[in-house]
Structure 1
Amino acid sequence: MILLLLFLCLFAALLLGYPVAFTLAGVSLIFGFYTFGLDLFYLLPLRIFGTMSNQILIAVPLFVYMGVMLEKSGIASRLLNTMAILLGKVKGGLAISVALVGAMLAASTGIVGATVVTMGLMSLPSMLKRGYTPEYATGIIAASGTLGQIIPPSIVLILMGSVMNISIGELFIAAVVPGVLLVICYIFYVYIYAVIYPDDVPPIPEEEIAAFKKELTPSLLIKTFVLPFLLILSVLGSIFLGIASPTEAAGVGAMAATLLTALEGKLTWKAVKESAFESGNLTSMVFMILVGATAFGLVFRGLGGDDLLVELIQSADLEPYTFLALVMVGIFIAGFFIDFIEIIFIFMPVVTPIFEMYGLNTLWIAILVSLNLQTSFLTPPFGFSLFYLKGVAPKEIKTKQIYKGIVPYIGIQILLITGIIFFPEIVTWLPNFLD
């Protein structure tokens, strides 16, 4: 009954609109004092200190800074324009270029907000001007912007690894194939749609392609594609080759992004100041939620919640895949209302021991959950990717058009999750091959 009351108070406070971090911490302190008495104020600082001393988490602010600094460099906008013209004669070429650039930005930054805003500002007006329907244009931009949630280096994967006690490097390797498959599925969909409904997806005019190609020198083309590739190589290459740990690679990436911005001539004091402020702001939010979740986890275990949950599942005689389906549905529904960070810190510490009890591969589970969490950025009413896009979209774009445009991509993600459930080798093949 006390556990039930704990959850009811938590969700009631969240629904009333109180900040997640302070809700988790506040409710946990009240119930923790009832559970542990004054010992709570001895146990909780030890638990928080143990969590914060995890060196893996140092990668979070470094990767956030890398993404913000890359946005300041202007490389992303040039890459998007160049790719769009090169694919101009392909059906749905501009939409395909958005998917490809979204994947490259995901592998360079992993920051959803920066990617969606950049592509929304650069490509949405261009797509609408060329006659693309609002639903088609906004759908691919919002979906491509969330690829940073699964394509490494991903903040989701870092947090998932720290909570589930899985090697971040192994998670990054395991996420490569599912991430690539998701990009391919997006491209396949936008191309087939363009073939079936050509009037909704007009091609880029020949004269515009010809005019751009006259300005596109070989040196500019090399600079456009080589610089982002060097950043990806410096981060992921150093991890996959065993040269650096994920935390060290985050430092390499932060420095590389700063140097690229300098090469572009945009490394100003204002850019550095804004990057530091935005990185500090985002990192503080993540870690405040982590402190609240740590307090919640301590109280939950102190009340015997994990043991009770295991007993309930054992008494219900659930099959492993039935339990997995319940967890995945629960996380998918939770993604409609709360952020991926809260879901990781609230759900995963509770369900991970049960997955281990069933003998399921936790690496496979982590990738499945990460793909599931990606949908939380796309599902209304609180899909952050939709908010970011609406914020930079022209006034004539209605919210319902963005919601309608994103539906096929949510379906694609669900299909991919289902495929990985039935074929775990999609996740485990590359780590096993490189082992």
Structure 2
Amino acid sequence: MEYEWLGPALFLAAFVLIFLGYPVAFSLAGSALAFAWIGVELDVFPVGILGAFPSRVFGVMSNQVLMAVPFFIFMGTTLQRSRLAEDLLHTVGLIFGARRGGLALAVVIVGTLLAAATGVVGASVVAMGMISLPIMLRYGYKAELATGVIAASGTLGQIVPPSVVLVVLGDQMGVGVGDLFRGALVPGLSLALLYGIYVLVIARLRPTWAPALPKEELPASRSELSGRVLRVMVPPLVLIALVLGSIFAGLASPTEAGAVGSVGALVLAGISGRLTRGVVSETAHETMRLTAMVVMLLIGATLFTLVFRGLHGDEWIQRSLTSLPGGRVGLLIVANLVVFGLGFFLDFFEIAFIVIPLLSSAMTKLGFSDTERVWVGVLLALNLQTSFLTPPFGFSLFYLRGVTPREVPTGAIYRGALPFIGIQLFVLAMVALFPELVTGMLQSGTRP
């Protein structure tokens, strides 16, 4: 077919603009309009196809699944801005502080809880770094262990439900978000468990790397600690249980559960006496900023996809992916390699809106069932989580570097992340080899 190079050229042009530093949403939309004009001039692009763009944008705005994104962002940001997350970390630190590695173990536990409450990687890493890193360094923790455990625990927001990543992934792959939440539960909790085991092993083998808290820093009595645990830990745990439980039990959709979680976070902030006008304003601003970014990305990606298909680029992608050696296995290997590589340079939302729909069409051609697509979705989320941790470009490492004291070198952050990358790769391999770790939860759950 003449001019069939236009589709691949559009794809390449968009990525060149992105890597040059231009905003992703405008890179996608701008390159699409430029190639649409070229296609019209060459009489190979049906200009009438652009008439579908307004209805596509309206479909984005009325997408019930994506409405869950601002709700979960609002819920997590409220817990952070009202310093409830800080209280949580301090309390868990007191519970385990008497033993070596207790603070690092507290970081893993609170990182898991924050992941279940926020679902946003950047927010979790920054919050954990600002709250826990100065304390760990003050009490003699080795910088590599402290930064590594914070970066790894913060990225749990990528995979532990109710992750915003999984919401967007479900929408783009055409699978139920509730199914993705259920499928990601075992891999996500397995990661957290292995992080905790690693911390305890290191604390035993290298006691000076992870000392216990001094006795004067611990609660004076068990009753004092118990009262603090009930007051600080139980309410957020109940909120998380309500949100996830309602989704898993089929009582609410992710969007409805997110709305309940947002109201619940406001109630918890109010009970603690920290629901100030400033907290609500900062939370609303952050929610609006992130949501606007996601929507603009999706609008740009919608125009890009429309023009890409008008230039028959989707047929080129589909032929390339479905003719790979190994068939379905070959597609999975290439997809994971591509997503892992792009995870060094692009945010997840950008990858989800550009690459995932193309992979999804190839999976449809190769006959992937809905259950298999959920498994692939969890694999891709785990893969991206690993790339977020991998030096030298991992996003989580950059987030952490921004809140790390100058006396901690960047090399220490990179070295600290390496053992946790090994744990991530192990879990990724287990999920790839044993899909039942994901699909078993789908078979036992009630689908909303």
Is TM more than 0.5 here? yes
Q: 1:327 to 1:315 in 2, by over 3 A?
A: closer
Of the three residues 14, 17, 26, the one matched with 1:22 is: 26
Q: 1:405 to 1:19 in 2, by over 3 A?
A: same
CA contact (8 A) 2:91 2:228 kept: no
Q: Give the counterpart letter for 2:67 in structure 1.
A: I
Deviations 1:64-118 (A, max 9, x none): 1111111122221111111112112333111111001100111112122332222
The number of equivalent residue pairs is 434
1:409 aligns with 2:420: yes
Q: CA deviation at 1:139?
A: 0.5
Task: Name 2:95's counterpart in structure 1.
Answer: 86
TM-score by length of 2: 0.92
Task: Name 2:218's counterpart in structure 1.
Answer: 209
Question: Which aligned pairs between 1:262-273 and structure 2 lie closer than 5 A?
Answer: 262-273=270-281
Q: Give the counterpart letter for 2:366 in structure 1.
A: Y
SS in 1 for 2:66: helix
Task: Name 1:297's counterpart in structure 2.
Answer: 305
1:368 aligns with 2:405: no
Task: Name 2:14's counterpart in structure 1.
Answer: 10
Task: Name 1:194's counterpart in structure 2.
Answer: 203
TM-score by length of 1: 0.95
1:385 aligns with 2:385: no
Of the three residues 115, 118, 124, the one matched with 1:115 is: 124
SS in 1 for 2:67: helix
Q: CA deviation at 1:359?
A: 3.0
Of the three residues 337, 350, 353, the one matched with 1:345 is: 353
CA contact (8 A) 1:142 1:406 kept: yes
Deviations 1:184-235 (A, max 9, x none): 1111111222222222222222333254x47835332201111111210221
Of the three residues 220, 226, 237, the one matched with 1:229 is: 237
Q: CA deviation at 1:351?
A: 0.9
**Larger helix share, 1 or 2:** 1
Q: 1:309 to 1:116 in 2, by over 3 A?
A: closer
Q: CA deviation at 1:341?
A: 0.6
**Rounded Cα–Cα distance in structure 2 between residues aligned with 1:218 and 1:315:** 61
**Rounded Cα–Cα distance in structure 1 between residues aligned with 2:116 and 2:307:** 37
Task: Name 2:293's counterpart in structure 1.
Answer: 285
Could you list the runs of 5+ residues in structure 1 that have no partner in the other structure? Answer: none
Q: 1:389 to 1:316 in 2, by over 3 A?
A: closer
**Rounded Cα–Cα distance in structure 1 between residues aligned with 2:219 and 2:242:** 35
**Rounded Cα–Cα distance in structure 2 between residues aligned with 1:193 and 1:40:** 59
Of the three residues 46, 54, 61, the one matched with 2:63 is: 54
**Rounded Cα–Cα distance in structure 2 between residues aligned with 1:4 and 1:383:** 27
Deviations 1:106-158 (A, max 9, x none): 11121223322222122111111121111110000011011111111111110
**Rounded Cα–Cα distance in structure 1 between residues aligned with 2:422 and 2:145:** 15
Q: CA deviation at 1:380?
A: 3.9
Of the three residues 354, 360, 363, the one matched with 2:362 is: 354
CA contact (8 A) 1:339 1:376 kept: no
Could you list the runs of 5+ residues in structure 2 that have no partner in the other structure? Answer: 40-44
CA contact (8 A) 2:322 2:365 kept: no
Q: Give the counterpart letter for 1:115 in structure 2.
A: S
1:397 aligns with 2:408: yes
**Rounded Cα–Cα distance in structure 1 between residues aligned with 2:204 and 2:172:** 44
**Rounded Cα–Cα distance in structure 2 between residues aligned with 1:316 and 1:124:** 46
CA contact (8 A) 1:335 1:379 kept: no
**Rounded Cα–Cα distance in structure 1 between residues aligned with 2:164 and 2:245:** 18
SS in 2 for 1:55: coil
Task: Name 1:421's counterpart in structure 2.
Answer: 432
Task: Name 1:252's counterpart in structure 2.
Answer: 260
SS in 2 for 1:163: helix
Q: Give the counterpart letter for 1:298 in structure 2.
A: L
SS in 1 for 2:262: helix
Per mean C-alpha deviation after superposition, the further-off stretch among 111-120 and 181-190 is 111-120
CA contact (8 A) 1:72 1:261 kept: no
Q: Give the counterpart letter for 1:147 in structure 2.
A: L
**Rounded Cα–Cα distance in structure 2 between residues aligned with 1:258 and 1:137:** 31
Task: Name 2:42's counterpart in structure 1.
Answer: none
Question: Which aligned pairs between 1:298-317 and structure 2 lie closer than 5 A?
Answer: 298-317=306-325
Q: 1:195 to 1:311 in 2, by over 3 A?
A: same
CA contact (8 A) 1:73 1:260 kept: no
CA contact (8 A) 1:128 1:137 kept: yes
1:156 aligns with 2:161: no
**Rounded Cα–Cα distance in structure 2 between residues aligned with 1:220 and 1:3:** 60
1:31 aligns with 2:44: no
Per mean C-alpha deviation after superposition, the further-off stretch among 102-111 and 134-143 is 102-111
SS in 1 for 2:251: coil
Task: Name 2:84's counterpart in structure 1.
Answer: 75
SS in 2 for 1:249: helix
Per mean C-alpha deviation after superposition, the further-off stretch among 139-148 and 68-77 is 68-77
Q: CA deviation at 1:14?
A: 1.4
Deviations 1:7-62 (A, max 9, x none): 22112211211111110111011113344354244122222222332111111111
SS in 2 for 1:166: coil
Q: Give the counterpart letter for 2:332 in structure 1.
A: L
